[in-house]
Chains A and B, each alone.
Chain A
Amino acid sequence: MSRKRNEPPRQSWRESTTFAMRLVAFAVSLAIMGAFLLPWVKLDGESDVRTGTGLMTLAISPARDYLTMVAPIQTVVLIACPVAMLLFAIILAAKYAQRKTALFATAAILASAIAIIYGARDLVDGSGLNAEFGLSLIVILSALLLVHQALIKIRTRLRIKRKLPAVQRALFIITGSGHYRYRWEQT
Chain B
Amino acid sequence: MLRKFLQLAVVAIVVAVAAGFGWLAYGEVNTSEAVHFDESISMVRHQTESVSVTLVDTGAFVDAGVANITDVSLLLGEWTPRYNGAQSSYQKFDSAIAAAEVRAEAYFASQRALTGRYHDPVRRARAQANDDANYALYTQWRSRAHQTREHARNILKRLDDMDTDLRKLELSSEFSFDAGGFDTVPSAISALDDELSQFQIASENIRDITVSPFEEQ
A residues neighboring B (CB under 8 Å): 26, 30, 33-34, 36-37, 44-45, 47, 51, 53-54, 56-57, 60-63, 65-66, 69-70, 86, 90, 93-94, 96-99, 122, 182, 184-185
Contacts and interface: CB of A to CB of B under 8 A. Distances in A.
B13 interface: yes
Given A93-B13, A97-B6, A37 B99 contact: no
Contacts of B102: 62, 65
B92 A44 contact: yes
Q: Which 6 A-B pairs have the closest CB atoms?
A: A69-B95, A66-B99, A97-B6, A53-B21, A45-B46, A184-B2
Interface in B23-56: 24-25, 28-29, 36, 39-40, 42-43, 46-47, 50
A53 B46 contact: no
A122 B3 contact: no
B3 A97 contact: yes
Contact of B2 (A51, A54, A70, A185): A185
B21 A45 contact: no
Given A33-B14, A51-B24, A54-B24, 10 more contacts: A34-B17, A57-B21, A62-B40, A62-B99, A66-B96, A69-B94, A70-B91, A70-B92, A97-B3, A98-B3
25 contacts: A26-B9, A30-B10, A33-B13, A34-B16, A37-B16, A37-B17, A37-B20, A44-B92, A45-B46, A45-B47, A45-B96, A51-B24, A53-B24, A54-B24, A56-B21, A61-B28, A62-B36, A62-B103, A66-B43, A66-B99, A70-B91, A93-B10, A93-B13, A99-B3, A185-B2
Given A45-B46, A66-B43, A90 B10 contact: yes
A96 B7 CA distance: 9
A185 B14 contact: no
